[in-house]
Structures are given as structure tokens and as C-alpha cells.
């Protein structure tokens, strides 16, 4: 297949690209406008592969998208491009409305126009896979209930509201136009190449630098953690085997309180880091409780039984195995995260934009 993958220079997108190039014979074109979270260094291991291409295109640019469709002739689209950081959405929601809602609309229309002109055999096989989040469901108030594919939407932040809107657009295009789309909603991802503003990499990198480890409120918020490479496998399975019009929830079966995640990371670092920062005997000493963010959801938890039963996908990593691999990766890949922290990774963008 020719797979057009938006947002492929981001955390999850780059994992999907690496998975496809390493494990299939498909061709991938990454479409990414390279905002702050887009990093071509996350795709270094596939660069130069004849089955990989990159185009610096904003999904809000219809003319550029039309050119991409005409030249690459995709058999499937995996739509991951999105603004995705809740705190940033609270501080500046406009970019989330523009990219997540308007960008999805523009991409849908470009894809629909392209799809409508395909020969019948190609038209029947074409897929548009929209990748979303469990945050569209709001939060769970009990300790046993789970998000299912039919859980009503109740987004709490500008970020989750914008993703909920994009989900509705994709489903409406399927219902109204017969456009062959699928939707997946995933739990919190973690793993290699995660942008350092997110909780797990932030804790790892602050700890090794001897900086405070910020925990919102009392740290009792619960998240279901999904190792990013497990997620990449699931996404490929959905785009190749999923039922048109269906939704699949993807979770790691790993519910943890935020404070327990932080303490687990600290324990692993205590094992692996032989020379600790000055004045630190155990990394847990750096934990600092900070004011909770507005509208903070208390618990997310995914029921991933549908994708298991229908497509045969299960996560391979437990939280314990995945988080150990993740901490090790950050300790072994200082050059990658240093270049993100000091901004030098952005030089790739400047070079492409000239």
C-alpha cells in the first residue's frame, strides 16, 4: 500500500512510520508541517529508505494537499496530525481549533475528492483512519467502569473538545458521503521519542538534572498507559483489517495514579543512575506538588476488548516492562533530547523552509 500519514514527525506518528518501514512492504509519505513537536530526528532510522518520503505540508493547506494526493496516490490515510498538549490548549486554544478541527475538515475534503475519482477497485479498498484520544470521553468517576466505543463524549479541555469535534466530522463524512473512515481512541502513550513537555519524559529528564519533579494536585489522577510501539501495531492493524465506519478503543490495560508513575520512574533511576545530582540520595526527594490545572480529569481507563476480539490485538508490554525500556532509552539517547531542549532540532525546519 501507499500510506499517507499526517503528523508523522510527531511522537506517535514517527513510531507508526518506523513500524511500517521495519515490518511491512508498504510505502509511507509523511505529511507534517513541523510545529514545535515535529522532529525529523525521530525518523532518522528510516531516512534514506526508498519506501519513505517526507513532505512539509500543513493539513490546512488544501492546494498543497491536492498536490500530495495527485503525486503520491495513497491507498490509505492515517491522520495523526494534531495539537495535543492540554496545558498549551488552556493557554492558547486557537491553534487547537485551527489544526484539529479545520485541519481535519480540509484533509477530509481533499481526501473525499481524491477518493471519489478513484477507479472502483481502488475506491472500495481505500481507507481514512482518524487517530484520536480517550480524553474525548471526559473522566470516569468510579474505580471499575471503563471507556467503551459507545461512551458518550464529554470533553473537559480545549484540546479534548477539539479532538471530539474532529471525531464527529470523520463519522459524519462516513455517514453522509459513504466515505470509508475508521476512528481509534487511545489512552495515554509513552515510550521513546516522547516530547519532553509530557509527564513521563519530563520526570525522567528533570530527575537526572536534579530539578523538581512537578506533580499536579495530590497526584491521584489515574491514567491508562499504552506503550507507543504497542499503539503503532494496533493502528496498522486497524487501517489494514478494521471495519469501515467502526471505532476501536486502544488501551494498555495499565491504570496507574500519576504519583505512582513518578515514583516508579524514580525507583528505576535509582537503579540505573550511578552518579546522582548533587544533594540527591533518592530521586523521590525531588517530587514537588504543584497547583492542579483547571478542569483536570481524574481518571481515564480504556476497555480494549473490541480490538482484541475483532482484530486480535493485545499490548505486548506491561507498564513495568515498558517504563523500564523508556527510562533506559532516555538515558541512552541524550543527544536526541538535548537537541529538543536547546531547540537545535528545529534547524531541520529552517532548512526545509528556505
Give domain limits for the chain.
2-194+225-255+298-319+345-353
Q: What is the pLDDT of residues 48-84, one digit of tens each?
A: 999 999 999 999 999 999 999 999 999 999 999 999 8
Separation CA 194–CA 229 (nearest Å): 12
Predicted confidence at residue 60, as pLDDT, reads: 98
- Determine how many CB atoms are found less than 10 A away from the CB of residue 173: 21
Nearest-CA neighbor of 41 among 72, 13, 9, 73?
9
- Measure the N-to-C terminal CA separation of the chain; round to a whole number of Å: 32
Predicted confidence at residue 349, as pLDDT, reads: 46
Burial class (CB in 10 A: 0-12, 13-18, 19+), 106: middle
Confidence bin at 353 (pLDDT 50/70/90) = very low
Which of residues 351 and 216 earns the better pLDDT score? 216
Separation CA 158–CA 94 (nearest Å): 9
Predicted confidence at residue 87, as pLDDT, reads: 86
Average pLDDT, the chain: 95
Separation CA 30–CA 229 (nearest Å): 18
pTM: 0.94
Catalytic residue numbers read 134-135, 159
Separation CA 195–CA 199 (nearest Å): 9
Q: Which of 135-144, 265-274, 288-297 has the highest mean pLDDT?
A: 265-274
- Helix or strand (DSSP H, E) at 182: strand 181-186
Is the confidence at residue 258, as pLDDT, over 50?
Answer: yes
Neighbouring residues of 38: CB distance < 8 A, sequence distance ≥ 6? 7, 9, 10, 32, 349
Predicted confidence at residue 347, as pLDDT, reads: 59
Separation CA 37–CA 40 (nearest Å): 10
Q: Does domain 2-194+225-255+298-319+345-353 have CATH number 3.40.50.720?
A: yes
Q: Average pLDDT, stretch 139-155?
A: 91
Amino acid at each position: 500500500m501507499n500510506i499517507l500519514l499526517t503528523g508523522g514527525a510527531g511522537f506517535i506518528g514517527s513510531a507508526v512510520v518506523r513500524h511500517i518501514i521495519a515490518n511491512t512492504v508498504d510505502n509511507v509519505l509523511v505529511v507534517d508541517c513541523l510545529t514545535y513537536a515535529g522532529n525529523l530526528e525521530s525518523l532518522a532510522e528510516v531516512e534514506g529508505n526508498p519506501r519513505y518520503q517526507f513532505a512539509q505540508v500543513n493539513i490546512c493547506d488544501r492546494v498543497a494537499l491536492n498536490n500530495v494526493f495527485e503525486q503520491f496516490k495513497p491507498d490509505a490515510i492515517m491522520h495523526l496530525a494534531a495539537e495535543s498538549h492540554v496545558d498549551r490548549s488552556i493557554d492558547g486554544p486557537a491553534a487547537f481549533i485551527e489544526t484539529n478541527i479545520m485541519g481535519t475538515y480540509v484533509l477530509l475534503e481533499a481526501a473525499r475528492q481524491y477518493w471519489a475519482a478513484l477507479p472502483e477497485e481502488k475506491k472500495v479498498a481505500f481507507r481514512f483512519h482518524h487517530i484520536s484520544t480517550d480524553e474525548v470521553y471526559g473522566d470516569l468517576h468510579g474505580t471499575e467502569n471503563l471507556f467503551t466505543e459507545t461512551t458518550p463524549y464529554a470533553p473537559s479541555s480545549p484540546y479534548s473538545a477539539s479532538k471530539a469535534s474532529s471525531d464527529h466530522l470523520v463519522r459524519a463524512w462516513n455517514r453522509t458521503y459513504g466515505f470509508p473512515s475508521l476512528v481509534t481512541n487511545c489512552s495515554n502513550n509513552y515510550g521513546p521519542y516522547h516530547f519532553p513537555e509530557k509527564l513521563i519524559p519530563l520526570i525522567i529528564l528533570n530527575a537526572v538534572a536534579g530539578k523538581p519533579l512537578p506533580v499536579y494536585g495530590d497526584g491521584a489522577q489515574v491514567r491508562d498507559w499504552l506503550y507507543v510501539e504497542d499503539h503503532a501495531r494496533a493502528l496498522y492493524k486497524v487501517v489494514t483489517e478494521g471495519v469501515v465506519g467502526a471505532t476501536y478503543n486502544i488501551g494498555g490495560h495499565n491504570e496507574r495514579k500519576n504519583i505512582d508513575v513518578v515514583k516508579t520512574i524514580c525507583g528505576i533511576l535509582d537503579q540505573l543512575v550511578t552518579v546522582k545530582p548533587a544533594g540527591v540520595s533518592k530521586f523521590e526527594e525531588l517530587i514537588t506538588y504543584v497547583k492542579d490545572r483547571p478542569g483536570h480529569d481524574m481518571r481515564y481507563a480504556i476497555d480494549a476488548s473490541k480490538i482484541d476480539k475483532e482484530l486480535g490485538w493485545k499490548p505486548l508490554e506491561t507498564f513495568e516492562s515498558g517504563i523500564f525500556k523508556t527510562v533506559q532509552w532516555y538515558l541512552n539517547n541524550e543527544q536526541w533530547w538535548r537537541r529538543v531542549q536547546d531547540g537545535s532540532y528545529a534547524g531541520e525546519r529552517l532548512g526545509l523552509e528556505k
